[in-house]
Amino acid sequence: MVVYAGQGDPQRTLALLWRASSAGPARPARGPKPALTVDAILNAAIAVADESGLDGLSMRAVGERLGHTAMSLYTYVPTKRELIDLMYDQAHAGLARTEPSGGWRAETEAWADDLQACYLRHPWLLQVSHARPVLGPHEQAVLERVLRVLGPAELPSATVRAVVSSLFSLVRGSAQSIAEARSAAGSTGTPDQEWWSLRSRLMREIVPDFAERFPHSTLLAAQPPPDGADQWERMARDAFTGGLAILLDGLERHSTSG
């Protein structure tokens, strides 16, 4: 289930996200020197989430990975929700920056590929709601890049908003499909084709009138998909490149400099 953005003290959250020193001195006057930093905690938490998913992400697990207790984290981070918000932003720091020179269309595709790769490196990102009211610096940088890339297309601002939002949806949705394909393949261990034919047999047994009730679905399923052990991931990838191409085709109509 999606973790929604934390709703604690917005000032504190913002300051943490942007690592601002304005909301308090950098080092408090008295007391022992902190053994941890927010960044160290984020790295540990991201490592835990990469290994065990969001379900495996507990305050205890993060604390232990740092040689500390769960409670020690609360000195640096108000709640688990805010920790996840910070992780979400931090994970976007690792985004590659492939910038081909081939016009805005190629650059947009490169941006989408980079973002998708980031999601697939940290699949738990897909379990965190992205529809957040405020962005952290790294998410903001991702947004800034696609806006810069789309600049030469000279689109009206409403179109820019629409296309950027659509691009995020496409990248995220396809990454979800790919991640699900991988997780299914990994957890069952059986190649996709075998798994698929088993599923079909079961369906024929349980829903014998499927073909009559869902003729269009049946027809589409009969069309040749890509084959191979990773056919599910391949299909998801093809759907992504195809969908992106269609969207950008449509966009070229609106662009003054196609």
Partner DNA sequence: TCACAATACCTTATGTCGTAAGGAGTTTCA
Partner DNA sequence: TGAAACTCCTTACGACATAAGGTATTGTGA
| Angstrom distance (rounded) from CA 175 to CA 98 | 18
Asked whether position 61 contacts DNA by CB under 7 A, the answer is yes
Asked whether position 106 contacts a copy of itself by CB under 8 A, the answer is no
Q: How far is CA 103 from CA 32, 99, 110, 152, 248, in A?
A: 54, 10, 11, 8, 12
Applying CB under 7 A, among 2, 7, 19, 60 the residue interacting with DNA is: 60
How many residues bind a copy of itself (CB under 8 A)? The answer is 90
Segment contacting a copy of itself by CB under 8 A, of 67-75, 90-98, 109-117, 236-244:
236-244
> Nearest distance from residue 76's CB to DNA, in Å?
7
Asked whether position 193 contacts a copy of itself by CB under 8 A, the answer is no
Asked whether position 2 contacts DNA by CB under 7 A, the answer is no
Two tokens, residue 79: 């709640």
Give the H or E element holding residue 204. Answer: helix 192-206
Q: Tell me, what amino acid is at 99?
A: E
CA nearest 80: which of 60, 50, 52, 94?
60
Site string for a copy of itself, 67-86 (x = CB under 8 A): --------------------
Two tokens, residue 61: 């697990």
Residue numbers of the site for DNA (CB under 7 A)? 28-36, 56-61, 63, 68-72, 74-76, 79-81
